[in-house]
Amino acid sequence: MRKIFFIFFCFLGLFANEISEKTKNLESNKRIQEQLNKKLEDLANDILSGEKKLKELSDQIQVLNLQTNKLEANAKAQNKELQTLSSQNKELLKSKALMENKLIVLMAKDFAYDLPIPQGYIESKESFMAFEVLEGLDRVLSEEIFKLSKDYEDITRLIDNKQAQIQKINLNLKDYNDQIAKLQLLKQNQLNEINKQKTDRSIYAKKLENLQAQQEELRKTLNQLKIIQNKKQEETKDNKSKPSNNKQTIRQLGSSYQSGNIKKYTGKKTIAPLDSFTVKQKFGNYLDPIYNIKIFNENVILRSTKSDATVRSVLDGKVVFAKDTSMLQRVVIIEHNNGIHTIYAHLDKIAPTIKVGKNVKKGSVVGRIKNDLTFEVTQENFHINPLELISLN
């Protein structure tokens, strides 16, 4: 039966550890998903905030290390003193116990000598001598009891003093151990923060890399449709041959910066492509605070306030492009009057009525998105801030 209970409790312990590990993994995955869904700017702020926190943790650890190192030598000496005092106190307590037993015996004898005279007692020369002897013994016993009591009092005081010293040392050692525990906790927090930083930087670098790839693909598509004529960009053979990694990718992204031709939209405002949304990525220059890279956003990213949202054409026009792409999921491009083109990218579905060459009305369903819509507007070889075209109400 004992073996069964032992196996059962071992199983419970392993099960609890497994649950704890799975909980940690779930929390970690949840955080990663949250970071993936954040705006580039917000993710950058998290990284900068994390760097500041790491600096603060490092400073705290440095101060605690100095304090702990100073206390360590003292703690070793106090530990040694504690052992000595505890050993001495042990011997003193033994002596105290022996004294207590001796005092009890002496007090019992003294009491016996002080017994009252029995009835019928007849004085004689022998009895007188016996009383003299008893009185002498009583004096000796009294003196011995007095001396033993004094020694007992002294040893008790000595024990109390040593006990007070032991208590003081224990308090000092508790402070030292508390410092050690605090230092270990700070180091664990530092390790957790470093892991978060690694994750966030990896996600951030990937976002920058994807941003470049997506913009390049859209530029290529617009160039093929003769909607926007791209500036010629110099690409070195080294960039093509070198293995891809975060730092190399970031350098490439910085070197391929181009500030597209921008034109101010002066026409009438029109409807938005989504019923309800927030702006996840703004149009124009973005100065990356992590790698100090200047990025030009030629479009905006609108985040729908509800999932599986309908995307609508913002103006009357004709569909000139509607297909799947490698980087931008499904894309629809509509040509409008006055040389305006609107681009709807990252669609999860294209409406079955949307075909190249088909005319669409303002408000017609273009497709659907799960969360984010990449929305771009051009006019006669110029980029326009999409938020100037649409109503934000």
193 and 57 in contact (C-beta within 8 Å)? yes
Confidence category of residue 188, pLDDT binned at 50, 70, 90: very high
**pLDDT score of 179:** 84
Strands 330-335 and 340-347: antiparallel
In a domain, 278, yes or no: yes
Specify the higher pLDDT residue, 377 or 236.
377
> For 270, which DSSP code?
B
Provide the CATH number for the domain around residue 36. Answer: 1.10.287
Does residue 162 sit in the same domain as residue 25?
yes
Specify the higher pLDDT residue, 354 or 236.
354
**pLDDT score of 303:** 94
* Mean pLDDT (whole number) for 362-390: 95
Range of the domain at 299: 261-389
Does residue 312 sit in helix, strand or coil? strand
**pLDDT score of 10:** 57
Does residue 162 sit in the same domain as residue 292?
no
Least confident of 30-44, 155-169, 253-267: 253-267
Helices 246-255/125-224 angle, 10° precision? 40
Residue 160, pLDDT above cutoff 70? yes
Residue 238, pLDDT above cutoff 50? no
Out of 204, 219, 251, a domain closes at 204
* Mean pLDDT (whole number) for 334-339: 94
**pLDDT score of 29:** 84
In a domain, 249, yes or no: no
Which of 154, 156, 145 has its CA nearest to residue 97? 156
**pLDDT score of 115:** 47
Out of 177, 204, 231, a domain closes at 204
Residue 136, pLDDT above cutoff 60? no
* Mean pLDDT (whole number) for 358-379: 96
* Mean pLDDT (whole number) for 178-185: 89
Cα 22 from Cα 386, distance rounded (Å): 44
In a domain, 234, yes or no: no
Which of 333, 250, 237, 335 has its CA nearest to residue 293? 250
Does residue 373 sit in helix, strand or coil? strand
* Mean pLDDT (whole number) for 325-348: 95
* Mean pLDDT (whole number) for 134-158: 63
**pLDDT score of 237:** 38
* Mean pLDDT (whole number) for 313-325: 96
Dihedral, CA atoms, 120, 124, 129, 133, nearest 10 degrees?
0
User: Model confidence over 58-80: pLDDT tens digits?
Assistant: 999 998 888 888 777 676 666 77
Provide the CATH number for the domain around residue 269. Answer: 2.70.70.10
Does residue 21 sit in the same domain as residue 132?
yes
Confidence category of residue 235, pLDDT binned at 50, 70, 90: very low
Least confident of 55-59, 102-106, 134-138: 134-138
Q: How many domains does the chain have?
A: 2
23-46 burial string, b = 16+ CB within 10 Å, else e?
eeeeeeeeeeeebeebbbeebbeb
Angle subtended at Cα 322 by Cα 227 and Cα 310, rounded to the nearest 5 degrees: 110
Specify the higher pLDDT residue, 253 or 95.
95
* pTM > 0.85: no
Does residue 197 sit in the same domain as residue 268?
no
Dihedral, CA atoms, 91, 92, 94, 97, nearest 10 degrees?
180
Does residue 194 sit in the same domain as residue 290?
no
The residues near 47 (Cβ < 8 Å, ≥ 6 apart) are 197, 200, 201, 204, 290
Q: Which residue has the tokens 């990213």?
A: 301
Does residue 286 sit in the same domain as residue 360?
yes
Dihedral, CA atoms, 242, 247, 250, 254, nearest 10 degrees?
-80
Does residue 173 sit in the same domain as residue 281?
no
Phi, psi at 3, each rounded to 5°: -60, -40
Out of 169, 187, 204, a domain closes at 204
Q: Averaging pLDDT over each range in 81-95, 116-130, 273-287, which range is the top one?
A: 273-287
